[in-house]
Structure formats: structure tokens, C-alpha cells
Amino acid sequence: MRLTTSILPTLSLLLLQTTRAIDLDIDSFPSIKEAAAQVAKDLAGEFWDPTSYSGVPNGVGQYAWWQHGAILGAYVDYWHLTGDDTYNSNVTVGWLKGVSPSLDLLPKEHAFDIGNDDQGFWSIMSMDAVERVFPETDEQKKMGAGFLEITHYADAAEMSYKWMRESNLIQDDYWINDGLDVNECTKLTTKRWTYNYGTIMAGCAAMYNFTTGSKRAYWKQELDNILNSTYATFIDAETGALKEIQCQESKTCDMDQRSFKAYLVRWMGYTAQVAPYTYDTIMMHLRKNAALAAATCIGEPHGTACGQKWNIGAQWDGYHGLGEQINAMEVIQNIIPYVRPNIGLIFNSNNGGTSRSNPGGKGNKKTMRNWRLILAAEYAKYALRNYEIKAADRFGGAVLTLLTLGLLAGMVVFVVSEPDVEEKSEEKSEERPRPRSVVE
């Protein structure tokens, strides 16, 4: 039989998708790890440049600075969940790009375009690194970074949450609005986004974990309501797929919104660890969506690009970008604790966390200079070509003087937005593993 010219491109595409598609067995740790590695490789290869202040290579799209913080957080979790340290040094390199000479998360390159939610992503990523016990150099350990565990921070988080309830940012039916007018606190932005629900969910879970007695009962009730609202709002009834309801079906998601599902699934994974009673239902949804997401990873240019829509079966919807890759990466890697219950633990200073805080830690020029030299030597084999740690890069304890309940930082920073703004074998687990938690 003779094929016509018009058929050949289609056939070639089908063959490419068949040979390069990501094959995921959600009950196999090696399979999950391999799938996560492929998605992580594609994300790093096309959409991440840690030496850039924007975090992305020039010419790949209009991505915001906050998304670099989101990428760093994804790779912190990738290392913690898979054990693959390929990207660790570049996480450190990228993190330094967010630190200004005044030792805060406000680099001068973005001084006039940063909102509190932008800094929130960087703060959450930093606390995530502490809770995941991300590797530190000896000099980093001297900088006064780590856990505070001071009760008045929890009190402040509770006050912030109750203000959100009273202001109707979180309605009585647990519809979570996107923001309030900064000048008129009764004017709500009523759009619903996955990442807002994920942020509040993780905050409530952290508070549930931290408290006892009647306060824990309160946070359990709030967390249950947030979870139920999340499932009812964003889970497609027919397929079980997570959907970005404001824009996905209308194909109007912008560069930011295309990545929002990543943060919901990341914080669902976190919630399952620190509030173990939520584990079964959360893992059911994550495992379903990991399989659905992987099935879309058959796109161009390499045959493994992942799609935006997870509710269309084993096909690619034509979307290819940072958002699609980080969405798939997060949902795939966050099911690893199901098949390896000793992986994914959230640490604090009482159960294995090693970072210690100095709330007044500021560092000094000599310490920072020595730290940069050590970093350059230790991580030289991993660093991207042409990378050089420059004098403008600064690091100090003040940057990592973080709240005990790190994810509660997100609860505070997102609320006043402008409107509309090795194992060696392939064996499968015979029974569902017990969840782990920082709660004793």
C-alpha cells in the first residue's frame, strides 16, 4: 500500500506518541519515579533557568517571577520524594536569585512588580525546604535558618484565618474567593482558583497538626469543610479529573492560571501527611489524577509533553508550557508516599528536622562570601554552564526567619489581593501503607 504525503505527518506523530509516551503504574515506585523524572527533565530542559532572575530561559514565554519560586518548591519536593538530587544545586542557585542585598525576598529586578502573593510562593518554598530537610552546607547551618515554633505565630495565623472567614473571603459555604479590594474590604473577587483552596487547605492542616483539644477540633472542622468544598468544586464528576473551572474549558487560562493545579495537588499531598485522617480520600484523588495526567504526556516536541486537560483521556490537548509540566510533575511525585510510606514525611525540630532558627539572624559579609565560595566548590559539578555566583547575591538568616507553620504564610499573604487580580524491584504494595505525620 502506498501512503499519501498528507497521511505521513499524522502517522509520524502517532508513532512518536506511541514510542515516547510516559507509562505510569501508580502502584510501582520505580514506575512513578521514572515518570516523575521524565516530566522533571522536560520542565528543567525547556522552562527553568535558575541563573535568570525570572527563572525561565529568555524567549520561552511571559512567565512571572513568582513562578520561579513555585518551580523551586517543586524540585525540593522532587528530591525529597524521589531521592534524585540531580537538580538540588540549581535549586540553591535559583533561590539565591530571589534574595536581595537587603536580605529579603525582594530582588531589585522585580521591586516594582511583586505582590504579597508573589513573595508568598518564595516564602512557602523556603519553609518547604526546611520541613523536607533539604541539604544545607555547613555555612548555611550557621545562618540562623529553620524552625521557630513560637506559639504567637500560630496565634497570628489563627487571627488571619478568622479574619478571612469574617470578611467572607472564605464564605459560610466554604466558597473561597480570590481577593478583596484593598480600599473597600466588602468588594470581593469571586473567582475560584485551585491554588487558593490548596493554600487554605494546607494552612488548616498545619494548624490541626500543631494544636490540641478544642482548638484541634476547630481546625479539623475547618479542614473538613475546605476539603469537601475542594472536591465538589474542582473534581470532574464524570472522570474524577481536577479542573481549573474558571478557564480550562473555555481555553482562556493565562500563563499563571495554567500552573495553579500544581499547587493544589502539592498541598493535598502535604495535608495527607500532617492530617493523616485525610490520607485515604486525598490519595484516592491524587492517584486517579496522576494516572490521568500521565496519559496526556504524549505531546510535542519530544513525545512526552503533558497537557492541560486531564479529563480527556489518553490524548494531548496541544498545550505545552511550564504550567502543564509542573502540574503533571507535582501530581505524579505526590503519590509516592502511597507505595513507600517512609517517604514524604514532614519534619520539625522534634522528629528529625535539623534546621535551627535565630529570629534576629542577619549574617555578615564575610560569612556570606565564605558561603558562596563553599557553594561554588561543592556544587560546581551540577551548576549550569556559565553560572557564576556574583557579589550581588546575598544570603542571610533574616531571609529564612520563617514561621513555624510555614504554609500558613500563604494564608496570610494571599488574602489582600487586588480584584481579578530504591527499591530495586518492581513489586507492588499488597496493602495500602500507613500514612506518616509529624504528629506523634
Q: Cα–Cα distance between 145 and 157 in angstroms, integer?
A: 20
Listed residue (418, 417, 410) closest to 160, CA to CA: 410
Residue 77 has pLDDT above 50, yes or no: yes
For 254-397, list the strands marked E by DSSP: none
Given a cut of 80, whether residue 159 has pLDDT beyond it is yes
Q: Give the residue, 136 or 40, on which the prediction is more confident.
A: 40
DSSP state for residue 147 in the 8-state scheme: B
3-state secondary structure of 37: helix
pLDDT bucket at 150, cuts 50 / 70 / 90 = low
Query: What is the grid cell recorded at 11?
Result: 502517522
Going by pLDDT thresholds of 50, 70 and 90, the confidence category of residue 75 is: very high
Task: Read off the pLDDT of residues 91-130 as tens digits, 9 standing for 90 and up.
Answer: 999 988 887 777 778 888 887 778 878 888 888 888 888 8
User: Could you give the CA distance from residue 440 to residue 436 in angstroms, rounded to a whole number?
Assistant: 9
pLDDT-derived band at 201, boundaries 50, 70, 90: very high
Is residue 424 scored above 70 in pLDDT? no
Q: Is the pLDDT of residue 76 over 70?
A: yes
Mean pLDDT of 388-417: 30
pLDDT digits (tens, 9 = 90+) for 308-362: 999 999 999 999 999 999 999 999 999 999 999 888 777 554 544 444 444 443 4
- 174-184 pLDDT per residue, tens: 999 998 877 77
Q: Residue 135 is which amino acid?
A: P
| pLDDT score at 185 | 74
pLDDT at 348: 52
pLDDT for 42-56, tens place per residue? 999 999 999 887 888
Q: How far apart are CA 193 and CA 196, in angstroms?
A: 6
CB 329 within 8 A of CB 46: no
**Across-strand partners of 356?**
147
391 pLDDT higher than 60: no
Q: Which residues on adjacent β-strands are paired with residue 235? A: 242
* Section 70-96 average pLDDT: 94
Of the candidate CATH numbers 1.10.3720.10, 1.10.10.10, 3.65.10.10, 1.50.10.20, the domain formed by 16-413 belongs to 1.50.10.20
**Which of the 8 DSSP states describes residue 418?**
P
pLDDT surpasses 50 at 290: yes
The x, y and z cell numbers of residue 231, run together, are: 472536591
Q: What pTM was estimated for this model as a whole?
A: 0.77
Confidence of residue 137 (pLDDT cuts 50, 70, 90): low
Q: Tell me: cis bond preceding 9? Omega within 30 of 0 counts.
A: no
Residue 51 and residue 65: Cα distance in Å, rounded?
13
399 and 140 Cβ atoms separated by less than 8 Å:
no
Name the most confidently modeled range: 64-73, 137-146, 354-363, 392-401: 64-73
pLDDT for the residue numbered 347 = 56
Average confidence (pLDDT) over 147-157 = 73
Helix/strand/coil for 218:
helix
pLDDT at residue 200 greater than cutoff 60: yes
- State pLDDT tens for residues 220-250: 999 999 999 999 999 999 999 999 999 999 9
CB under 8 Å to 310, separation ≥6 — which residues? 239, 241, 242, 243, 289, 292, 293, 295, 296
